[in-house]
Amino acid sequence: MFVFLARLILFLIAISMIRSAVGYVQRLWQGIQPPSSPRTVREATAQNGGVTSTVLQQDPVCGTYVGVDTSLKRIVGGRVLHFCSPECRDRY
């Protein structure tokens, strides 16, 4: 009986360690991959019920992805920067 319980506990510890190692490797792998920008997201439109695609750009201040259509824009050094709010735009 005790041998069975000891083996069960060791088995559960081994599974836990394997899951932790796999999670660590996944987080490490996600950190290595370069971020893809700009992103395309499919959004359902309320007007016609169809599907359109919106290009998203990352706000350089807070890192939020914001739609190009709805973003606040500022041209700096010949580049168009997209901001999610007036606060982020002013902070930049």
Domains of the chain, by residue range, sit at 1-33, 39-91
Label the pairing between strands 51-58 and 39-44.
antiparallel
- Rounded CA separation 82/63 (Å): 11
pLDDT for 44 equals 45
Is pLDDT of 18 > 50? yes
- Band (pLDDT 50/70/90 cuts) for residue 70 is confident
- Rounded CA separation 52/49 (Å): 10
Is pLDDT of 88 > 60? yes
- The model's pLDDT over 25-42, given as tens digits with 9 standing for 90+, comes to 888 877 766 555 555 545
Cβ neighbours of residue 54 closer than 8 Å, sequence gap 6 or more: 40, 41, 43, 67, 68, 69
